[in-house]
Every structure is written in C-alpha cells, then in structure tokens.
Amino acid sequence: MAKILIVAEHDGSALNPSTSKCVSCAAAIDNAEIDVVVLAASTADIAAQAAEIGSVSRVITIERAENKDALAAVLAPQIAAVAEGYTHVFGPSTTFGRDLMPHVAALLGVNQVSDIMSVEGSHTFRRPVYAGNAIVTVEAPQGNIVVATVRVASWEASPGGNTAAVEEGDVSVDLPSHTRYVGLESETSDRPDLQTAARVVAGGRALGSSEKFELINKLADALGAGVGASRAAVDAGFCANDMQVGQTGKIIAPDLYIAIGISGAIQHVTGIKDAGTIVAINKDEEAPIFEIADIGLVADLFDAVPALTEALG
C-alpha cells in the first residue's frame, strides 16, 4: 500500500488550493493512504482547513517559530524527518514547491520526479518535457521513496467535507542557520490570485508601455479576473514579475483565459495548455496563439479592448 505525505502550502493562515490538488494526484494511486503535513509558526487554522480535504487520513502539524516563513533550507530537514515510513512525498509545482522539494529529495538521497500530470502506477507517472511539446512516461525506482512535484494545473481540487484527524508531529532536528528571511516584496491587489482565478486576462509586449497595460487591468476588473502577462511584457517592465505566465512563470488552468497582444510563443503556451476556454486578440492573423485559441479576434487591441470593457460595464 502506498503511504503518501503531502506538504501543505499556505500563507501562514490560509491553505493554498494547490494542496488539495496534490491530494487529488495522490488519490489517483491505488490504495493510497494520504497524510498532510503542515509546517508553520501557528498551525491550528491551517490544519483545520487541511483536515477538510477529501481522501486525507491524517494531518500532521509541526509548529515551530522557525517555520513562520517558508524557507526551503529550514522546512526541508523537518519534512525529511517526518517522511520516514512513507513511500511518497508530494508537493505542488508552484514557486513554493519548486524551491522546497528538490531540497527534500536531496536529503532523502533520491532524484525528484517533476510536474506529475497523470498517474499510471504507484511509481509510474506522466509529465511534460520540451516546454510541453511532448509528454513522457517516467518510472521511479521501486523500493525508494518517491519525491515529486504535482502539476497543479492538471488536477482538480479534492472535494471537501472531510474530518481527518489532526496530530502533533514529533520532530527534533537541527535547523541550518546559513539561510535567513529578509523580507517579501510583492504586488498587492484586490484581484483574484493568478494561480487560482477562474478567469484571467493577460497582456503582451504589443501593449507598448506600463501605462497602456492599464487596458488589461480595466478589462480584468470588469470580468472579476486575475491579471497575467507574457514574459516579453514583464521583461519590458510593463508589469511585475509575479504576473508572468508560461514555462518560466506560472502555469495556470483558469476556466477562461484571454490573451491580448500575445503572439503565442511555446514558452507562454506551456503555461495555459490546461485552460478551459482560450480567447486571443491580436492584429496579426498569423500569430501562433490562434492555433490554440478556442475563440480568436483579429483586431487592434487598442480598439477592441476598450470596446469590450465598455460592453461588460
């Protein structure tokens, strides 16, 4: 029987939906017993949320002052200690998981399996390669613990309504002091979070400036959507780095994705492949984005976007 440990992602008070999606991936393994580990300075509220996730058998809490900030160097030794007796350790393929899980794999002496998008067996998984142009089947060695990240855009959240047991973990490990938390700089917004939003509006380099990028923000506000951007728009300084969508940014799966002034390079397309409906607005009718778009509009964005925003208002 597979015994799987899920590393919870949270902001100190609220559980990130990526955790529930990792549980869905784990539940795809036959006869899996699934536990969630919550590491924080204060775990009660987060653990209560994790206990409600369907298919979870137990929530293990590790409450230490050092866990206030999500530092991979600090969290990884504790996770490696808790992982004793487990066959799998899963974390989300988000910024948090991509930073943390390689540390865990190194401490456990195994190679990491990255971006699981489907489960073929207890040690066999499918994952994207070549910027999503190909899907490969990989098999982890039998007898070794499997450390993996889950491509959360490929999985639905596990249903709620559960009442899993919550237990305090007993972990005594020395934590490294060579890494310290300095601070967090991020954009604050009342808009939905980019990685969990049901609707996302994204802009590209064709907007020309940060001032004109406001067209994207206004349309997003009219739709109640999150805001994203292509790497070209981010590199040009039109918007913040944490808004980047694509292979080197965030991989998302909203119900509706509107790409405005985005050509559709493969690196960007990788980040939106799992979106429900893709709408593209671009004046270049040969733009690659139209090859994957469900709805395409060949038009000047400076005419089309204000008109669409006004119609929605």
If asked whether residues 13 and 133 sit together in one domain, one would say yes
pLDDT tens for each residue of 109-123: 999 999 999 999 999
Examine the pLDDT at 91 and tell me if it is beyond 90: yes
pLDDT tens for each residue of 259-296: 999 999 999 999 998 899 999 999 999 999 999 999 99
If asked whether residues 32 and 93 sit together in one domain, one would say yes
As a whole number, mean pLDDT of residues 243-252 equals 91
- Boundary (domain end) residue, out of 145, 168, 191: 168
Burial class, 107, CB count within 10 angstroms (exposed 0-12 / middle 13-18 / buried 19+): middle
If asked whether residues 221 and 262 sit together in one domain, one would say yes
Q: Give ∠ CA 263-264-268 in degrees, rounded to 5.
A: 125
56-63 and 165-168: which strand pairing?
parallel
Range of the domain at 76: 3-168
If asked whether residues 132 and 237 sit together in one domain, one would say no
If asked whether residues 121 and 210 sit together in one domain, one would say no
Q: Do the Cβ atoms of 223 and 279 come closer than 8 Å?
A: no
pLDDT tens for each residue of 101-155: 999 999 999 999 999 999 999 999 999 988 777 899 999 999 999 999 999 999 9
Rounded Cα gap, residues 127 and 134, in angstroms: 9
Torsion, Cα 249 218 209 255, to 10 degrees, reads 30
Examine the pLDDT at 96 and tell me if it is beyond 70: yes
What is the count of structural domains for the chain? Answer: 2
| Secondary structure of residue 227 in the 3-state scheme | strand
| Secondary structure of residue 168 in the 3-state scheme | strand
Rounded Cα gap, residues 79 and 9, in angstroms: 13
Residue-level pLDDT at 188? 66
Give me the half-sphere count of Cα atoms (radius 13 Å) on the Cβ side of residue 127: 19
302 band by pLDDT with thresholds 50, 70 and 90: very high
Rounded Cα gap, residues 46 and 146, in angstroms: 25
88-92 and 146-150: which strand pairing?
parallel
pTM of the model: 0.85
- Boundary (domain end) residue, out of 115, 150, 168: 168
Task: Answer whether residue 129 is part of any domain.
Answer: yes
88-92 and 124-129: which strand pairing?
unpaired
Rounded Cα gap, residues 166 and 99, in angstroms: 26
Task: Answer whether residue 177 is part of any domain.
Answer: no
Q: Residue 111 has which token pair?
A: 């190679």
What CATH number is given to the structural domain containing 258? 3.40.50.1220
Examine the pLDDT at 175 and tell me if it is beyond 90: no
Rounded Cα gap, residues 75 and 265, in angstroms: 36
Rounded Cα gap, residues 295 and 16, in angstroms: 31
Residue-level pLDDT at 205? 96
If asked whether residues 29 and 106 sit together in one domain, one would say yes
297 band by pLDDT with thresholds 50, 70 and 90: very high
Mean pLDDT over each residue of the chain, to the nearest integer: 94
Residue-level pLDDT at 171? 85
If asked whether residues 154 and 215 sit together in one domain, one would say no
Examine the pLDDT at 42 and tell me if it is beyond 70: yes
If asked whether residues 157 and 21 sit together in one domain, one would say yes
pLDDT tens for each residue of 205-222: 999 999 999 999 999 999
If asked whether residues 158 and 235 sit together in one domain, one would say no
Residue-level pLDDT at 187? 63
Residue-level pLDDT at 202? 98
Residue-level pLDDT at 192? 87
Residue-level pLDDT at 106? 98
What CATH number is given to the structural domain containing 115? 3.40.50.620
